[in-house]
Structure 1
Amino acid sequence: MADGLTGAGRPGTAASPRQLTRGRVVQAAVEFVDKHGMRELTMRRLGAYLGVDPMAIYRHVPGRDALLDAVVGVVVDDVLEVMRREEAEPGTWDAYLERLAHAVRGAALAHPQVFPLVATRPPAAPWLRPPLRSVRWVELFLRTLRGAGFSGRQAVAAYRAFTSFLLGHLLLEVSAIGVDTSPVDEPAPTDPGVGDLAGFPTVAGLQAELTEDHSAAEFQRALDDLVAHVAAMRTGA
């Protein structure tokens, strides 16, 4: 067929429409993206990959946009599992940040073709920062730091600094291995408001702090840290 990808990397056995589940469709989409990249993913190609009529997929996901959200959810859930385990077995806050950073990096390197989408999909609220812009991630992150003695404002400041570090480093890292990090598409942003965050009390309670724009000050602090680090390297420290 014309797309050149039909059957490429297809699972060993074709699925019948009756055997399809939403989980199987989403997992196949993740596998397809890992092999071919996000821009190649279409419902028709995924149907060919699964060995089914593409229309059968629509019984489980309403369209490509919902499929992309589900693919992002796979990466989100991988990191959430680590975060929940850390919350259940609390340690020091600095060890928590280190383990979480490595968990996000591990997810990015396990699915480098998916990671740029994690950073660019619309968040539950526009003031949540990539790549930790899933409200579930942010709720656990802020709740854990609050439990470690951070004030609400301190927890938000840590969240801002942490996400800036992760996004900058990990997008560069996946870009260096040839991944296209530009947005796949431009879905319309949404702002559900606090009413839709009722299940996430920490995020809802800190909305005012999360909404504040301290970009200039954050940039200067990061730049100061960078200059100090380079100065230390220059003197052999």
Structure 2
Amino acid sequence: MDFIDSHGLPALTMRRLGTALGVEAMSLYRYVPGRDDLLDGVVDAVVDELFGDADVFFEPRFGWQDYLQRLAHGVRRIALAHPALFPLVATRPPAAPWVRPPLRSLRWVESLLRALHTNGFTSVQAVVAYRAYTSFLLGHLLLEVAQRGIAMNAIDDPNGSSTARVSDLDAYPLIVELQPLLSLDETVTEFEEALESLLDRLTTMLDTGAHHLPPETLQDPAGA
């Protein structure tokens, strides 16, 4: 994890890792069969950091909304602490086909589903909430780490670049005009507002007994 945090994922090879650790690359194969297995272990270690976060509760102590808020902020802290690693959390094969990143741990999936189930969500509602919640986290946090300069196309490319190049914008005058606004970092506000909106939608689904998110809350705010 420290190597990837410092040098980036594309730089990780068994030889380079061995050099950084002061050992021969071949000695690493005593512990992991290869790079893919090493990456799986790294992902597990990253997700397991949630268990050491004092602000994240494994069980809902103050209701399901507080539980989801704390968990969301815990995942965001991990993404920002390991921006070079977070795309890996999103792309490595999951433990089961229905496990959705970034909550790749079966223990956390069980915890989330149980937190919802014990707070009045039906089985269908709990699954709908789980899918909506993980989609929100993954989409927002991948965009946020990408804004911080992580090349999303360099996840497994040893020759990838960690810096984005700005294309010639002469043919795009509106982009040039709006670039100062487009460059504003509103990620914290956007995260909070999107999380609150999702929790409101889940509350409406729970209160109405629906088995899907309310369609009226899914409309484009710009068109409202």
Q: CA RMSD in A?
A: 2.7
- Sequence identity percentage: 55
Partner Cα distance (2:45, 2:99) in 1? 19
2:148 aligned with 1:177: yes
Partner Cα distance (2:132, 2:52) in 1? 22
Partner Cα distance (2:116, 2:38) in 1? 32
Partner Cα distance (1:120, 1:89) in 2? 28
Residue of structure 2 equivalent to 1:67: 38
Residue of structure 1 equivalent to 2:218: 225
Match 2:124 to one of 122, 130, 153: 153
Partner Cα distance (1:105, 1:88) in 2? 19
Matches for 1:81-230 after TM superposition, within 5 Å: 81-82=52-53, 86-88=57-59, 90-182=61-153, 184-185=155-156, 221=215, 225=218, 227-228=220-221, 230=222
Shift of 1:151: 1.5
Give the direction of change, closer, same or farther, for the CA distance of 1:70–1:179 in structure 2 (3 Å limit).
Answer: same
Query: What amino acid is aligned across from residue 156 of structure 1 in structure 2?
Result: V
On the 8 A contact 1:123/1:135 being kept in 2, the answer is: no
Matches for 1:27-42 after TM superposition, within 5 Å: 30-42=1-13
Shift of 1:133: 3.0
Residue of structure 2 equivalent to 1:204: none
Give the direction of change, closer, same or farther, for the CA distance of 1:127–1:185 in structure 2 (3 Å limit).
Answer: farther
TM-score, normalisation: structure 1: 0.64
Q: Which has the higher contact order (CA 8 A, sep 6+)?
A: 2
Shift of 1:92: 1.1
Alignment length (residue pairs): 170
On the 8 A contact 1:116/1:183 being kept in 2, the answer is: no
Provide structure 2 residue ranges, at least 5 long, that are not aligned to the other structure. 158-211
